[in-house]
């Protein structure tokens, strides 16, 4: 039997080669220091490609006509052209969580190195100086650590700091309170976390929702001399606002991430107290874990058809892709209705009519909409495992087809406002002639609005003149209203105002109007 070629054009722990060659069905070609395209052209019969941070471009993929799968030995896969790979029917997989401990330990190392002036004291002593007073340090034991993002790394960091007897605050609306308590984490709102913590460590992805999230509104709340640590992504921090916070509040900044991982000047060089060259996953153990996981995933993929970690999964045959977009949009909308900071406890879905056979696949965009840590291209098994890991229950309900909803989706979310209060929200929608439509929000039925563009939503106790106050507030902010839905609920007690407007509405405008009309729900959403 001819052996399948596995190309590894990178420095990767030899355990991957050992596992694959030990299986007897693979021939591993592993070389580092040469270009990936050159190696691809020399090995056109490659069945699987295992990479670290190498760029896998369309040219590389085209050079491998027999390629079936690309495995990123690590979590991030932004260096791989996943869309082009899908067009060529090539699956792309990753190994999430393999480097979680390495990054968690790096955070602690940076905290200790900064608190005890390790980086500056060493060269001082080597030069013959004895500057004990200059390098008077601080202890991290007993301090308060804030963790923003409780995915693999955030949870691991919470476990690792236990020995320092630190108080740990967390922010991640996706994790259930009970799961957080098991980890010794007190869940709080983001503003409070920034106010109370001596150390704040960021562990969230960079996307449209998180880019620039750590801005002056948060940095200005930090304690004098508190420390911000970024081992996540460079773009989540507004550098200009951090520069101001450092000047005005003496904030310390420990950094391991940059816009580009390459030689050259770094934009944070003037404000970072500690800078590392993206060393988070650079440990022998993390490299070995990622290599082992990559090899094991390839064996499962080829032998058992297990493809849990595919990140560029296509749409199932027979399903209109628009329903994936609908599930994603309804989940985002429902998240705002239940409260963006509400700790989720339960997700319930109802997929009606022809959508029922695709319930598993449609769960993926629902989870991706609710969590910045979960990618929309993962598979249903990964979605269910993620929810279990975060302590969130999931129920795909049996549907009553006599209701006549046809190909509709209903999403319900239940979350805890505090230990004694739960909050519930429900939305329903469908696709009509290729257009996404939201038909119901809670008890407000027959809405039929298209969830697209700049949307603002207010719900309030029904009384005359409120809509006029909302319109006046928008007008005063220079915002034009393009469309309005303003029905009562089934009991006639509350009204909802759904406004499509011409531009993004600042949060301060939403808050001001909400206070004026005594809104029970108020949010803006880019759809």
Interatomic CA distance for residues 468 and 470, integer angstroms: 5
Tokens representing 510 are: 């939403």
Burial of 33 (0-12, 13-18, 19+ CB in 10 A): exposed
Q: What confidence score (pLDDT) does residue 255 get? A: 97
Interatomic CA distance for residues 317 and 68, integer angstroms: 19
User: Is 100-275 the same fold as 4-97+285-304?
Assistant: yes
Interatomic CA distance for residues 419 and 316, integer angstroms: 40
Interatomic CA distance for residues 95 and 99, integer angstroms: 9
Tokens representing 128 are: 């013959």
Tokens representing 322 are: 């628009």
58 near 19, Cβ under 8 Å? Answer: no
The β-bridge relationship of strands 421-432 and 408-418 is antiparallel
Select the CATH number that applies to the domain covering 100-275 from these four: 3.30.70.2740, 3.60.21.10, 3.40.50.300, 3.40.50.720.
Answer: 3.40.50.720
Looking up tokens 């013959």 gives: 128
Q: Which CATH class is domain 446-527?
A: alpha beta
Select the CATH number that applies to the domain covering 315-442 from these four: 3.20.20.210, 3.30.1490.20, 3.60.70.12, 3.30.1330.90.
Answer: 3.30.1330.90
Q: What confidence score (pLDDT) does residue 56 get? A: 96
* Mean pLDDT per 10-residue interval, the chain, length 527 residues: 92 95 95 92 97 94 97 88 92 91 96 96 96 95 97 94 95 91 94 97 88 95 97 95 96 95 92 95 93 96 87 84 94 95 94 92 94 83 90 92 81 87 93 92 92 94 94 94 91 92 93 95 91
The β-bridge relationship of strands 435-441 and 408-418 is unpaired
Size of the chain in residues: 527
To which H or E segment does residue 483 belong? Answer: strand 481-485
Report the b/e string of 421-430 with b at 16+ CB within 10 A. eebebbbbbb
Domain 4-97+285-304 has CATH 3.40.50.720: yes
Q: What confidence score (pLDDT) does residue 209 get? A: 81
Q: What confidence score (pLDDT) does residue 405 get? A: 73
Q: What confidence score (pLDDT) does residue 78 get? A: 80
Burial of 404 (0-12, 13-18, 19+ CB in 10 A): exposed
256 near 106, Cβ under 8 Å? Answer: yes
Q: What confidence score (pLDDT) does residue 336 get? A: 95
In the Cβ-directed half-sphere of 332, how many Cα atoms lie within 13 Å?
A: 20
Tokens representing 455 are: 């949307």
Interatomic CA distance for residues 200 and 187, integer angstroms: 14
415 near 339, Cβ under 8 Å? Answer: yes
445 near 426, Cβ under 8 Å? Answer: no
- List the domain boundaries for the chain: 4-97+285-304, 100-275, 315-442, 446-527
149 near 371, Cβ under 8 Å? Answer: no
């Amino acid at each position: 039997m001819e052996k399948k070629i596995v190309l590894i054009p990178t420095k990767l722990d030899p355990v991957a080669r050992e596992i694959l060659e030990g299986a007897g069905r693979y021939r591993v070609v592993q070389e580092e220091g040469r270009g990936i395209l050159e190696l691809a052209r020399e090995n056109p019969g490659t069945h699987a490609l295992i990479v670290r941070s190498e760029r896998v471009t369309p040219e590389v993929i085209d050079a491998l006509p027999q390629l079936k799968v690309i495995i990123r030995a690590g979590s991030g896969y932004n260096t791989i052209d996943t869309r082009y790979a899908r067009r060529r029917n090539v699956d792309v997989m990753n190994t999430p969580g393999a480097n979680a401990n390495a990054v968690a330990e790096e955070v602690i190392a940076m905290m200790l190195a900064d608190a005890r002036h390790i980086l500056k004291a060493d060269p001082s002593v080597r030069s013959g100086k004895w500057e004990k007073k200059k390098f008077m340090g601080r202890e991290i034991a007993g301090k308060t650590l804030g963790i923003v993002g409780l995915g693999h790394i955030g949870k691991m960091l919470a476990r690792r700091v236990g020995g320092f007897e630190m108080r740990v605050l967390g922010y991640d609306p996706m994790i259930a309170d009970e799961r957080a308590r098991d980890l010794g984490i007190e869940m709080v709102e983001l503003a409070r976390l920034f106010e109370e913590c001596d150390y704040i460590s960021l562990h969230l992805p960079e996307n449209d929702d998180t880019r620039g999230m750590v801005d002056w509104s948060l940095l200005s709340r930090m304690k004098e001399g508190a420390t911000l640590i970024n081992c996540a992504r460079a773009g989540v921090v507004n550098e200009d606002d951090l520069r101001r916070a450092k000047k005005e509040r003496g904030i310390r900044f420990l950094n391991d991430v940059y816009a580009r991982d390459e030689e050259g000047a770094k934009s944070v060089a003037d404000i970072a107290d500690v800078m590392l060259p993206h060393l988070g996953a650079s440990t022998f153990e993390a490299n070995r874990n990622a290599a082992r996981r990559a090899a094991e995933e390839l064996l499962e993929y080829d032998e058992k058809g297990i493809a849990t970690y595919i990140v560029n999964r296509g749409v199932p045959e027979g399903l209109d892709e628009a329903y994936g977009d609908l599930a994603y949009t309804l989940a985002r909308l429902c998240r705002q209705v239940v409260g963006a900071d509400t700790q989720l406890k339960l997700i319930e879905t109802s997929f009606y009519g022809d959508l029922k056979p695709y319930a598993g696949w449609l769960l993926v965009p629902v989870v991706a909409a609710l969590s910045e840590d979960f990618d929309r291209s993962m598979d249903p098994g990964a979605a269910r495992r993620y929810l279990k890991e975060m302590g969130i229950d999931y129920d795909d309900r049996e549907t009553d087809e006599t209701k006549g909803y046809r190909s509709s989706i209903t999403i319900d979310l239940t979350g805890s406002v505090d230990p004694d209060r739960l909050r519930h929200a429900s939305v329903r929608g469908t696709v009509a002639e290729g257009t996404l439509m939201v038909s119901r929000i809670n008890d407000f039925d027959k809405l039929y609005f298209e969830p697209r563009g700049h949307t603002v939503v207010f719900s309030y106790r029904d009384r005359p003149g409120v809509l006029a106050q909302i319109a006046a507030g928008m007008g005063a902010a220079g915002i034009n209203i393009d469309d309005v839905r303003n029905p009562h609920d089934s009991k006639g007690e509350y009204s909802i105002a759904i406004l499509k407007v011409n531009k993004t509405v600042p949060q301060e405008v939403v808050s001001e109007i909400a206070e004026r009309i005594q809104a029970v729900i108020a949010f803006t959403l880019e759809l």
